[in-house]
Amino acid sequence: MNDLDWSKAAVLITGGTGSFGKKLVEFLLAEKRPRKLIVFSRDELKQHEMRQSFPESPDSPMRYFIGDVRDKDRLTRAFCGVDVVIHAAAMKQVPACEYNPFEAIQTNIIGAKNVIDVAIDNGVERVIAISTDKAVGPVNLYGATKLVAEKLFVHGNVYVGARSTRFACTRYGNVVASRGSVIPLFLRQREEGLITLTDPAMTRFWITLDQGVRFVVRCVEAMKGGEVFVPKIPSMCLGDLADAIGNGCRRKVIGARPGEKIHEILVSPDEARHGVEYDDMYVIYSANPWLEAPQKNGGVPLASGFSYGSDTNNQWLDLDQFKALLQ
């Protein structure tokens, strides 16, 4: 695969009006300056609001497409002439996926299949999907759909045959202050003086939106096809998180919600058999015998039985570090 020249590339972001998509657009325009940058999403209002910050004009790289990843015909039109696709569209709220399972499957699995098929048919060079720690040993429908999507993207590299399209995934933990996460909830509850905790001992991986965007862009540049890229990021337990946000507030422990784990895993022991470690990330390679043997470029093979869990992590956020992230 040739080196990526962003200045000559047409880039499309599915789910481009979400928190990640908006930050990615901001970063790409400022630092990579692609020839064309297409936001693909189904929310007309969010696209209108996004245009106020990133206008669409003849001399601007910005383009906006209304569409849904469930609609293969619309994807086919949108992917025409595109070089790079960053697939961020998903249903990601655990309770919403549990209550609307068929809808989650339509978006997260069928949508992923559509992206793969259309990318191959249109000759897109690189496609990378955004995944989650909840895809590892999933206990809820959201995690299960993202696990299937990961498998589709990795094995899509076999499905392409002799064509040049390549697929990879990035997988990371909770994004600090993203919409629907526990942090905005705690910030609202702080005003009322009562923080509701599922379990103070619950741990999660944390990454900022800016860190996530930079990591994904770096992986787009590095991918050869078939990798799952996992950044090394810190953990924090929910009790400490509540102290950082609502120090002095009363607490109420309400118990874990259906489909929630106490701890998350980003690399499982079985995946570690095909993984390598770099200074700031792990890369999991496919064991599919039909894929080319990966070029591991100096990575250190992971030890037998290695697991990267939020409770066994060697990086932890203290209260001051977390408060700095919130800024």
pLDDT > 90: percent of the chain:
76
The CA–CA distances, whole Å, from 20 to 39, 83, 305 equal: 12, 20, 33
Q: Which of 23, 92, 134, 261 is catalytic?
A: 134
Mean pLDDT, to the nearest integer, of 101-126?
98
Task: Tell me the pLDDT tens digit for each residue of 164-173.
Answer: 999 999 999 9
Amino acid 178: pLDDT: 73
DSSP helix/strand/coil, 254? coil
* Complete domains list, the chain, with CATH: 6-174+206-232+266-308 (3.40.50.720)
Q: pLDDT band at residue 115, thresholds of 50, 70 and 90? A: very high
CA distance 146 to 108: 7
Amino acid 290: pLDDT: 77
Amino acid 324: pLDDT: 83
Strand partners, 30: none
Amino acid 294: pLDDT: 64
Amino acid 293: pLDDT: 64
Amino acid, res. 81: G
Amino acid 246: pLDDT: 81
Amino acid 295: pLDDT: 64
Are 88 and 14 within 8 A, CB to CB?
Answer: yes
Active site residue 32: no
Q: How many CA atoms lie within 13 A of 303 on its CB side?
A: 4
pTM: 0.95
Amino acid 186: pLDDT: 86
Task: Tell me the pLDDT tens digit for each residue of 221-279.
Answer: 999 999 999 999 999 999 998 888 887 888 889 888 888 899 999 999 999 999 999 99
> Residues 26, 89, 137, CA angle at the centre, nearest 5°?
115
Range scoring the smallest mean pLDDT among 110-114, 127-131, 139-143, 294-298:
294-298
pLDDT of 327 over the 80 cut: no
The secondary structure of residue 29, as a DSSP letter, is I
Task: Tell me the pLDDT tens digit for each residue of 145-190.
Answer: 999 999 999 999 999 999 999 999 999 999 986 766 788 888 888 8
Q: Cβ neighbours of residue 167 under 8 Å, at least 6 residues apart?
A: 116, 119, 127, 128, 129, 153, 154, 156, 157, 160, 225, 226
